[in-house]
Amino acid sequence: MYDLLSPDTASWPARLFRVAHHALAATGLLALVLDTVPSVETLAGAELGLVFDLALAFFLAEYFLRLWVAREAPWATAGRPWRARRHWIVTGSGLIDLLALLPLAALAAGAPVAVVHDLGMVWILKFGRYSEGLRLVGRVLYNARGPLESVLLAFLLVLLLAATFEHLAEGGRQPETFGSIPQALWWAVVTLTTTGYGDVVPVTPLGRVIGGVVMICGIGTFAFLAGVLANSFAQEMHRREFLRTWDLVARVPFFHSVGAPVIAEVAKQLRPRDVTAGAVVARRGERGDCMYFIVSGEVAIQLDSGPLLLGEGQFFGEISLVTGSPRNATVVARSACQLLVLDIADFRRLAAQQPDLMRAIDEEARRRLAHAPARVS
């Protein structure tokens, strides 16, 4: 049951459960949205209510199932199932699953049906467990929490100072909008975010000068915020790409004997590439600016004497990098392939850092060149 509910399980029962989960969540949300349209509610109110009840019952059963199987989690302490369950309740996934039951709590408390249905909009959070993109955003925010706290503090500082100074400058002329600091806070928020609704504007020269300074501070604050998030996002994407490349490099038999430090260095240089069956990877006569390592699949090097097949763990395209000559053959993918691409600039950098690895590649290139006249016209 734990494997069935896990978002990473690839078995067909787990996939079937995810399909049912997503279908019920999406249908339930659609029913809640349509229920707010009077004409639709009049025509199909009962059917929409049935969809809502079905989705709510499914989420209730899912919550208790996840609570029960929490003891099977890798982090659970053996022999203490209820400790694992208590821990799961306060995790992000547990809290989201609990929030999904808010409509049930409101229904038990006697809340109006409209309120119960509106609370069901939290079901959109149920997709977060299955979305790698949302998990990525969560990791980015967590990793950048320190700088983000600083930006938020700076924003609040400028916001409070802006409201205070504008209250002093405009309070006498516009007491209905700037008569107090809480009233001036609305103008400060609108101005600092550069939204500028125009419903509240300063009229005194000093108030307008303060407004201009606040606008500039708002642009700077959000530019800094965007920089922090962009840098953190780029670091997380680079980390994910490195881990993926590491996994692919480690699967290539050619690198099995080089050790983890060399794999780590190679993983920084290689770029994964997926190729569909029948695609041309390299053409004869083209400039050779990269070489390829085959992680999975099979390619055919088209020679006059017949195709030369290369499979998992082998590489090609190195002759052009070693000799500087154009490609001497066309390479076609015979099946869907996962390749690792080494650019010519990275090839030369790697040659300086890992001479033993490059020596093996150079020997293979020279061996193939020795047989090339017999195979390639």
Q: Rounded distance, CA 5 to CA 129, Å?
A: 11
DSSP string, 187-239: HHHHHHTT---SSS---SHHHHHHHHHHHHHHHHHHHHHHHHHHHHHHHHHHH
- pLDDT score, position 370: 67
Long-range contacts (CB closer than 8 Å, 24 or more residues apart) made by 231-237: 231/144, 232/140, 232/141, 232/143, 232/144, 232/147, 233/136, 233/140, 235/143, 236/136, 236/139, 236/140, 236/143, 237/136
Give residue 374's pLDDT. 43
pLDDT at 97: 93
What does the alpha-carbon distance between residue 174 and residue 181 come to, in Å, rounded to a whole number?
12
Quote the distance between the C-alpha of residue 182 and its chain's center: 39
Note if the pTM is more than 0.85: no
**What is the fold, at CATH topology level, of the domain defined by 269-375?**
Jelly Rolls (2.60.120)
**Other beta carbons less than 10 A from residue 253's beta carbon:** 9
In angstroms, rounded to a whole number, what is the distance separating the alpha carbons of residues 56 and 36? Answer: 18
Tell me what pLDDT residue 257 has.
62
Q: Which residues contact 179 (CB under 8 A, 6 or more apart)?
A: 167, 171
Domains 2-130 and 269-375 are alike in CATH topology: no
Amino acid found at 268: K
> Is domain 2-130 given the CATH code 1.20.120 in the classification?
yes
Domain boundaries, the chain: 2-130, 145-236, 269-375
Phi, psi of 270, rounded to the nearest 5 degrees:
-85, 150
Q: How many residues does the chain have?
A: 377
Nearest Cα neighbor of 297 from 247, 338, 330, 251 is 338
3-state secondary structure of 13: helix
Question: Helix, strand, coil: what percent of the chain each, to 5?
Answer: 70, 10, 25
How many Å apart are CA 201 and CA 93, to the nearest integer? 45
- Domain 145-236 indexed as CATH 1.10.287.70: yes
Adjacent-strand bridge partners of 342: 291
**CA pair distance 184, 168, nearest whole angstrom:** 10
pLDDT score recorded for residue 81: 85
Question: Which of the residues in the chain have pLDDT under 50?
Answer: 373-377
